[in-house]
Amino acid sequence: MRRLRLDLPGTAAPSLLAALTTWVALWSWAGFVQSPSGYLVPTLGAALLVAGLGILMRAARVPSLLVVVGQLAALGLWLTHRWAPDAAIGGWLPTPGSVQEVLGVLRESVAAAQSYGAPVSDSVPEIFAILVSSGALVAVLVDFLACGLRRVPVAGLPLLALYTAPVSILEGGVPWWVFAVGAVSFLALLASEEGRVLMSWGRRVPRGDTVFDTAGGAVSSASIRSSARRIGLTATGLAVVAPLVIPTLDAELLPGSGPGGEGGGDAVSITNPMVNLRRDLVRGRDVDLVRITTDDANPSYLRISVLDTFNGITWKPSDREIPPEQRAEGVLPRPPGLESRVPRKRVDYEVDVAEAFESTWLPAPYPVTAIDAPGDWRYDTTTLDFISAVEGQSAGGLQYSLSALEVAPRSQHLLDADPTPEEIFTPYTELPDDLPDEVTELAREATRGAGGKFERAVRLQRWFREDGGFSYSLRRAPGNGSDDLMTFLSDAPGGRVGYCEQFAASMAVMGRTLGIPSRVAVGFLRPQRVGENEYVYSAHDLHAWPEMYFGGAGWVRFEPTPGDRASGVPGYTVGDFDTPEPTDLPSAQAPADRPDNIERKLRETETAPAGGDGGSGGGNTGTGLLVALAALVLLATPRLSRVLVRRRRWANAETPGDAAEAGWRELRDVALDLRLPWSDSVTLRTAARSLAASFGAPDDERSDLVRGGARGAGADPEAARALERLVRDVELTRYARASVGATGRESEAVAADVERCSQALRAGAFKKNRRLATWLPASLVKNGAWRSLMPGPGEPALTDAGVDRAS
C-alpha cells in the first residue's frame, strides 16, 4: 500500500497567506456596519477553516475541485452550527429544517441590507449573516485560485472586488492602512508562489538569503522580489485606478448601503426609494427638502419614483427606457390610459429642491404634461417619473418648472373602466411563484361580495384603513418581501402593525392577486403652507402609496395607510359601491377576447383539474422539458465535440503523410481520454511500448475497482501489429526522404489500424475510464483538440516529438 505523503511545507504557507490576505481585504467592509467585529471575527474563523482544510487535502493529493467541494461542505456545517444548531443533528449535521432556518437567516440578512443605510446600527444583527457568508465564499475562491490552480495574480481579482465595492459605495472609501496591509499580504503571497515556480526549473538557484522554501530548496530572494514587485505593483495600481475609471450608477452590492445612513447630518439621500424611505422617516430632525410655488389650491402627493417590480424580496423600479429623445424638456406624452372624458385641470409648479436632498429622481406630481429641468433628466413613457441619465447628477439645489394635470375621475368612470391592455395587465399583475397562498386568500376574503375591479380596490383600501384592525407605527422593522407581508398581514400578536411601506406594498400585492394592475409610488404626502401659493415638503412627509390601473382613467392613487398618518382618501373612493344582487334577467355575452377576461382565463387555468385541458401543468411541463433538453445538450456537448474533432482530423488527411500524423494524433487523444499517461517528449517507439502495455483482450469485461485479465501486447496481437504499422508510417513521414514517404498508406488503412488500437486500449481500461472517455474526453482540454473545430487550416504535425537523437 502506498503511504500517504503530506507535504505541509509546500502547502501551508500559501494557504495561510491566502486566508490572511482575504481577511485583511474584508476589513474594507467595516464602513458598512457600526460594529465590524460582528462579521470580522466569524470571517477570520471561516478563512482559517478554509485554509486548514486546503492544507490537509492538498497535502493528501486531493484534486483541486474536490478540495473546493470539501471546503464548501465544511462551511455549510459550520454555518448550520452557527445559525440553526437546534434543528441540526448533533448541532452540526444539516436537516431539512436546519436548511430552511439557514436560508431564512440569509433572507433576513438580505432584507436588512436592502432596508438600512450604511453604517448599519448594532440593533440590526441580521446584517452580519450576508457579510459572513460572502466573506467565506471569497475565501474559498481566493484559496482555489491561489493555491489550487496556482494562479496568484488571478486571485487578485476577487480581492480587488472586495476593495472596489466600498470605494464605490461608501463616502469615506477604504482606510489607507487597510489597503496597505492588504497589498503587503498579497505581495507575500506572490513571493511564496514565485519561490515554487523557480524551484520547478529543475535546478537550484545558488543558495543565499531566502524568503520561502516551499519545495525543500533555497530560492534566491532577489528573483522572487523582482517578480513579486512587477506583478504586485501592477495589481495594486489597478486596485487604486479601477474605482476611478469604472462608472457606477447605484451600486447595490449591499442595497441601501449608500451614504447618508441613519442620522449623521441633515442630508437626505434617495438612491433606492423604498430602502431610504424608513431611514428618513425616523430621522431625528425634520429637514425641509422641496419648496413649491403652485396655483393648485390643495397640493398633496408629490411623486419621486415608481416601483413596478416585485420579486418576492422587495419592490423596486424596473429597467427604464430612457433614450435621449425622452429628456425632461418640453411637452410630455399623454399619460397611459387617461382619456379625455375624465375631468382634469392644468396646474403649474415652480419647484426648488434643497441642497440637502440628494436624489437621482426629480420630485414631481403625477401626471406631468410639460417640464423644463436643467441637466440631463429623462422620463419613462410608462411611469412618467424622471431619473438622472448622468452619473453623479443629483436633484439637490435644482430649480425647475412644470405643468401637471389634477385628474378627478368620477367613481362611475372607474366602475365602468375600459378593458385593460395586455401590455399593462401582464407585467403589472406579475407575482413571484413562491408567494404564499394566504395572501390571495386574504385578498379574496377582504373583497368578498365586491363586483368589479374598482370595487375590490376600494374594499381593500377600506380593509387596511378601517375593517382589518391595522394600526400605523414606525417601530415596525422594515421590509416588504413575501415573508414580511405575511407577518404584517397576520392577525397574530405583533401583526397588522406597520408604516406606509407595508401598507402600500401589501395593497399592491393583494391587488395583483385579484387581477388589478398595481404598483407602488414613493414620494411626499402633504406639504406645509408657508406663504401665498408656497408650500414646503420635509423629510417627515416622505410616504409610499399604491397606484392601480383602470382603463379610461389610467393610473389612479389609493391610500391604505390609516388616518393617523394619512388623514384622507381620494374622493373617488368614497361611497358605497356594492354591486346589486344578481337577477334572472339575461345579460349580454362578454366578448371572448377582451383583455378584461385575461383574469378569468387565468383563474380557470389555476382551478382546472390536473391533466385536463387548460390545466396549469402545461406550462410547468413545457419548462421542465426545456430544462431537460438543455441538460441533455450540455451533457452531450463534449462527446459530440470529440466526434467532430475526429471527423475533421481524418477529413484533412489528404496525403499519406497527413494520414500517418492524423492517426498518431488520434491515438494520442484516445489514450488521454482513457486517462492513460502520455508524453510528447519521448520517442515514437517508447510511446508505442507504453500504449501496447495497456492493451486488453477483445471483449474483456473490467470491474470499476479491480483490473483483471491479460494486458499488454500479447493480449491483442492484432492490435500490436497495427500499432507497429502506424509507428512505421509516422517514422517514414517524419524522417525518410520525400520519395520514400510518398509510398505510405492511404488514410482508410491507417484509420483501420488506429481503430483497432483504440479498441485494445479501451478493452484494457477500467469501465469508469471508458465512460469518462465517452462523455468527458480529456483530450479536448489537455492538448487543445477543440482548436481543430475552429475555422482555419488543419492541425500541424508533431514533427518535434519522438525524435530519436541517439544516433
**Residue 369 to residue 331: CA distance in whole angstroms:** 6
CA distance 487 to 491: 9
What are the b/e assignments for 145-173, b being 16+ CB within 10 Å?
A: bbbbeeebeebbebbbebbbbbbbbbeeb
Over 306-339, what HEC string results? Answer: EECEECCCCEECCCCCCCHHHECEEECCCCCCEC
Q: Tell me, rounded to whole angstroms, the distance of Cα 515 from its chain centroid.
A: 30
> Could you give the 3-state DSSP secondary structure of residue 535?
strand
At residue 204, φ and ψ (nearest 5 deg) are -85, 140
Contact 666, 649 (CB under 8 A): yes
What are the residue ranges spanned by the domains of the chain? 8-244, 268-407, 633-789
pLDDT at position 607 is 43
120 contacts: CB under 8 Å, gap ≥ 6 = 32, 33, 34, 112, 113, 127, 257
222: Cβ–Cβ under 8 A, 6 or more apart, which residues?
208
CA–CA separation, 59 vs 14, rounded Å?
12
Task: Using DSSP, state whether 528 is helix, strand or coil.
Answer: strand
Closest CA to 258 of 392, 124, 139: 392
Q: Residue 341: exposed, middle, or buried by beta-carbon count in 10 A (0-12, 13-18, 19+)? A: exposed
**Cα 158 from Cα 540, distance rounded (Å):** 41
The rounded radius of gyration (Å) of the Cα atoms in the chain is 35
Cell output for 185: 499580504
pLDDT at 61: 86
* Cβ atoms of residues 165 and 251 within 8 Å: yes
How many Cβ atoms are within 10 Å of 551's Cβ, its own excluded?
Answer: 23
Quickly tell me which residue has 441601501 as its cell. 256
Q: Which of these, 522, 514, 598, lies nearest to 557 by C-alpha position?
A: 522
Distance CA 659, CA 653 (A): 5
Judged by DSSP in three states, 594 sits in: coil
DSSP 34: S
- What is the pLDDT at residue 170? 67
The answer to whether the Cα torsion of 718, 719, 724, 726 is positive or negative is: positive
- Residues in the chain, total: 807
Q: Cα–Cα distances in Å, from 263 out to 353, 386, 438, 538?
A: 20, 27, 37, 15
Q: 633 near 774, Cβ under 8 Å?
A: no
Q: What is the pTM of this model?
A: 0.48
DSSP H/E element including 680: none
Q: In whole angstroms, give the CA distance from residue 662 to residue 480.
A: 64
How much of the chain, in percent, has pLDDT values that exceed 70? 73
Contact assessment for residue 68 and residue 25, using Cβ atoms and an 8 Å cutoff:
no
pLDDT of residue 596: 47
Check if the beta carbon of residue 525 is closer than 8 Å to that of residue 466.
Answer: no
Candidates 139, 71, 85, 115; CA nearest to 502 is: 115
Q: Peptide bond preceding 367: is omega within 30 degrees of 0, i.e. cis?
A: yes
Please give, one letter per residue, the 3-state secondary structure of 370-439.
EEECCCCEEECCCCCCEEECCCCCCCCCCEEEEEEEEECCCHHHHHCCECCCHHHHHHHCCCCCCCCHHH
Closest by CA to 170, choosing from 116, 117, 110, is: 117
pLDDT for position 191: 78
Burial of 123 (0-12, 13-18, 19+ CB in 10 A): exposed
Nearest partner of 266 among 353, 166, 358, judged by Cα: 358
Are residues 377 and 362 in contact, defined by beta-carbon separation less than 8 angstroms? yes
Residues of the chain with pLDDT under 70: 1-11, 114-118, 121-124, 168-173, 194-285, 476-480, 576-624, 699-709, 738-743, 782-807
pLDDT score of 269: 54
Distance of CA 82 to the CA centre of its chain: 25
Q: Which three cell numbers stand for residue 73?
A: 461542505
Model pLDDT, residue 238: 56
CA distances from residue 480 to 130, 313, 442, 485, 503 in whole angstroms, order as listed: 18, 7, 17, 6, 9
**723 contact partners, CB below 8 Å, separation of at least 6:** 688, 691, 692, 753, 757
Looking from the CA of 117 toward its CB, the CA atoms found within 13 Å total 26
**Of 147, 142, 180, 176, which Cα lies nearest the Cα of 161?**
142
Cross-strand bridge partners of residue 330? 371
- Strand positions, DSSP E, 458-562: 471-472, 497-498, 518-524, 528-531, 534-538, 542-550, 554-557
CB contact set of 214 (below 8 Å; sequence gap of 6+): 9, 10, 13, 14, 192, 195, 196, 199
The three-class DSSP label of residue 451 is coil
Contact 121, 103 (CB under 8 A): no
pLDDT at 448: 92
Closest CA to 782 of 645, 636, 634: 645
Burial class (CB in 10 A: 0-12, 13-18, 19+), 796: exposed
576-588 as b/e: b if 16+ CB within 10 A: ebeeeeeeeeeee
Amino acid at 647: R
